[in-house]
Structures are given as C-alpha cells and as structure tokens.
Amino acid sequence: MGEFIIHDCTLLTRTSGVPPVFNLRELRERLATCGRNVLYHHFCETPLVPCFDNPDYSNDFAAWALMQLGDRVLAERLGIINPYIFPDLENLREQVLEVLDERLSEVHLVPSCQPGGEFFFTEAVTVVFDTGMRAASPDRLPEAIGKMSNGSIYYHFLEARRREPVGIDDFSAWLAGFAGQEAWCAALQTVDFSFFTLTELRDELVRLLQNGGAS
C-alpha cells in the first residue's frame, strides 16, 4: 500500500439560477427539478460555507423549515436525513420529495416564510489540489490529520464518500489496505460527523486514532 496523499480543497458558492422559494409547495417544485449539485451543496457542503452551522440541523432545508417556515415537524424529518447513505443523489432527491409530499398532505395551510426569509438555492465549485504532504504509514496518520486544513478534512472524510469506493472516507479506505488496522477503521466509521464543525471533527479524528480506535 502506498503513502496517503494529502489533498486540500476550497469551495466557492455561486447562485444556481433556481428562483428562490417562499413556501413549502414551491420548495417541493424546485427540489424536483434543481441540479444535482444544488441538492448536494445544501445537504453536504454546508460545513465549508461561511455561515453559522445550524446547531440543530446540518442541512439547509431542515434549517430553513425550522427557522423560516416555523415547521418543526418538517425540520425534524428533513434534519435526520443522512445524505451519505444514498448510492446516488437521485435517491436522495426521491427521499426528500417523499418527506415534502407527506408533509404537504398533512398541513391545512401551506407553510410560508415572511418576506426576506425566502430560501435561495445555491451551488458550489470546489478547487482540489495536492498539498505535497504525505502520511507514509498508518502510525503517521494521526499527526498528519492534526495538521490538515478544514478543506482537507472535508475532502478526505466527507466528500470522499461520494467518490469510489462510495460511502467510505479516504482514511478508512487507505487503512483497509494494511493488516491490523481494523480497530481504527471501525472507529472512524462510528464518528457522527453531523454535529461537528470541521475543526472539531479534525480534533475528534486525531483523538480517536491516538486512542487506538477506542472512543
């Protein structure tokens, strides 16, 4: 197994061209047709966006449902969706539409926001580069992670799940190529990253690995 190549990434948000929405029905319509990158951005790229990470929900739709529509039921249902378990973004879209349709069938009045509270659909472009840094062997990984930028943590631990092998972070995928690293791999897969900022996530990964995989 070769050395771990440390990449970094930076993200820049852009408008998507999808008109903003004021109520739940419009949200359903736009989500049915918006680009996959829009969907991905609002579910997965929020940790890199310069905005306060919503402490309750890590995807933008759940946060909007709570804060602007005032619909706690919808926020709870959207907030629990883990975008990384879906093999394809279209499967994620189906699940989200299912939740919205269910909610629309329950409410007597379509939840709407106040003027100024509309949801703006955005997407992002990510620039990825090789940092030139390497972890030569598994025992060097904790130290290497400790020196990573937030962009590297995002790229290797979150965005990696979108790449082959799908659903697995880069650290686990690399460690799996070495004998005797099962405890670390298992520990990494138990990290509930939804409630960490990227800085906190980096510290947590280092802590886990330094403890030999014990939480």
Partner 1 sequence: MTKLLSAYQGVVNETVISQLRQLGSRLTGRSVVHVNSTREGGGVAEILDWMILLMRDVGLDAHWEVITGNSDFFSVTKKIHNGLQGFPVNISKREWQIYREVNEENAVRLRPILKEADLVVIHDPQPAGLLGLCPDRQGKWIWRAHIDVSRPARSVWRELLPFVSGYDASIFSMSQFAQPLPHPQFLIPPSIDPMSPKNMELDPEELDSVRHQYNLAPDKPLLVQISRFDRFKDPLGVVAAYRLVRAIQPVQLVLAGGGATDDPEGKEVLDEVLEAAAGDPDIHVLLLPPDAHRTINALQRLADIVIQKSTREGFGLTVTEGLWKGKPVIGGDTGGIRLQLVNYHTGFLVNTAEGAAHRIRFLLHHESLRNKMGIKAREFVREHFLLTRQLREYLTLFHILSSGVDSSAIYI
Task: Specify the residue, 23 or 126, whose C-beta has the smaller distance to partner 1.
Answer: 126
Residues 6+ apart with CB under 8 A from 125: 11, 12, 14
Task: Specify the residue, 76 or 118, whose C-beta has the smaller distance to partner 1.
Answer: 118
CB of 115 to partner 1, least distance (A): 10
State the amino acid at position 125 in one-letter form. Answer: V
CB of 180 to partner 1, least distance (A): 30
CB of 73 to partner 1, least distance (A): 20
CB of 157 to partner 1, least distance (A): 15
- Interface residue with partner 1 among 91, 137, 189, 199 (CB under 8 A) is 199
Task: Specify the residue, 40 or 178, whose C-beta has the smaller distance to partner 1.
Answer: 40
Does 15 bind partner 1 (CB under 8 A)? Our answer is yes
Does 148 bind partner 1 (CB under 8 A)? Our answer is yes
Cβ contacts of 66-75, under 8 Å, gap ≥ 24:
67/117, 68/113, 68/114, 68/117, 68/118, 68/119, 69/23, 69/24, 69/111, 69/112, 69/113, 70/111, 71/24, 71/103, 71/107, 71/111, 73/103, 73/106, 74/24, 74/99, 74/100, 74/103, 74/111
Residues 6+ apart with CB under 8 A from 154: 9, 11, 47, 48, 198
Does 194 bind partner 1 (CB under 8 A)? Our answer is no
- Interface residue with partner 1 among 72, 120, 136, 140 (CB under 8 A) is 120
Q: Rg of the chain's alpha carbons, rounded to an integer?
A: 19
Query: With CB under 8 A, what is the number of residues at the site for partner 1?
Result: 36
What are the residues binding partner 1 (CB under 8 A)? Answer: 8, 10-15, 17, 20, 37, 40, 50-52, 54-55, 116, 120, 122-129, 131-132, 147-152, 197, 199
